[in-house]
Structure 1
Amino acid sequence: MWNLPNILTLLRIALIPIFIGVYYLPWEGRHLASAAIFGIAAGTDWLDGYLARKLDQFTPFGAFLDPVADKLIVASALIMLLESHANVLFALPTLVIIGREIVISALREWMAELGNRTSVAVSYMGKVKTTLQMIAIAILLAINPVLYPKLDLMGIALLYVAALLTLWSMLIYLKAAWPELSKVS
C-alpha cells in the first residue's frame, strides 16, 4: 500500500487545504502561490499513474484513491473559486463538472455491483477533460479576476470547454452503461 504512486496520491489530497489556505492569505502573491501548489498537486495525478505503470505498483488502494483525489481537488477548487466568481457564468460549469462527477461515481459503483465496472472504466476522453479542468482551474487561481478580467474570462472559457468535455464523457459512460440501465426487471 505504501508505494510511491500511492504516497503521491495522498500528497495530492494533503495539498488541498494548503492551496485553499494560501488562496485566502492577505498577501498579493496568494493567487500565484495557490495556483503553483494546485499545479504541483495536479501534476501528481499524471506522475502517480505513470509511476504505477512504470514500476508495476498498482494497488487496490491506489485504484480507489486516485479518482477520489482528482474529484476532491477539482471540487474543492471550483467551490472556492465560486466565491470570487459569484455569478451564473461561473456557477453553470461548476455545477456541470461537480454534478457529472457525482453521477459517474454512482454509475461506476452501481455497475461494479453488477460485476460490469469495466464498461465504465476511465476513458481517454475522461483524461482529456480532467487535464483541461486542471489547466482552467490553475489559470483561475493564478490571477486576480478584478485586476486581470481578460485572463479571468480566458480561464472561464477553458472551464466551459472542460464542462462540455465533461458532458460528452458522461454521455459516453452512460451510453456504455445503457444496456444495464434500460433493462426491464
Structure 2
Amino acid sequence: MTLRDQRDDQADVYQPAEDSQLLAEAACDRLGNAEERLVLEVGTGSGYVAGRIADETAARVVASDLNPHAVRQARAEGVETVRADLVSPFADEAFDAVAFNPPYLPTDPENEWDDWMERALSGGEDGRAVIDPFLARVGRVLAPDGVVYLLVSSLTGVDEVVERAGDEGFSAVAVADDSFPFETLTVLELVR
C-alpha cells in the first residue's frame, strides 16, 4: 500500500476522538487483567479501542468493521480485523466481552451522504439505527458470563438504549461518562 492509499483510507475512517478514548478507558478499567479472554470490538474504525484493550489488558482482541478502509487501517496498526456487519460472522458464545462505539448522531435522512464517514457517524433519525440491531444480535456471540461495553450519547437517548437493552435480556449500568457542551457520552456495561 502506498502512502497515498494510507491517507485515502484515513480520510474514510473514523479516527479516535473523545468517545473512543472514553470507551477504551472504561473497557480497560473494567476488564482489568483479562488474560485468557477473547474480546470483540465492533466498528473498530482506526483500531484505537481494540489496540488499547489488547495492550492494557492482555486479552486477545478481534475487531470488525463494515468499512474496508477501516479494516485496512486497523490491520496496519497491528489489530486482528475482520470485515463484517456487526457480529454476523462470529460463532455463538465466542466472546467474553464486546465493545462498541456505534454511529449515534441523530441525522435527518434528507441530509445524509452516501460515504464511509457518514456511515461511521449517522445513527439515523433517532440515533439508534445501528444500536438497536446490535443489541438484538450481540447476545448470540457472548459467552454465558459475557459483558458488553456500549458507548451512547445523550443525543441518542440513554434511557431508550437502556430500555431496549432490557428488552433483549440485558441489565445496564453506566460505568463512565463525560460531558461536553452539546452532549454527554456514557459507557454502558450490559450483562445478562
TM-score range, shorter chain: under 0.3
Looking at secondary structure, tell me which structure has more helix per residue: 1
TM-score under structure 2 length normalisation = 0.24
Q: Which structure has the greater CA radius of gyration?
A: 1
Larger relative CO (CA 8 A, sep 6+): 1 or 2? 1
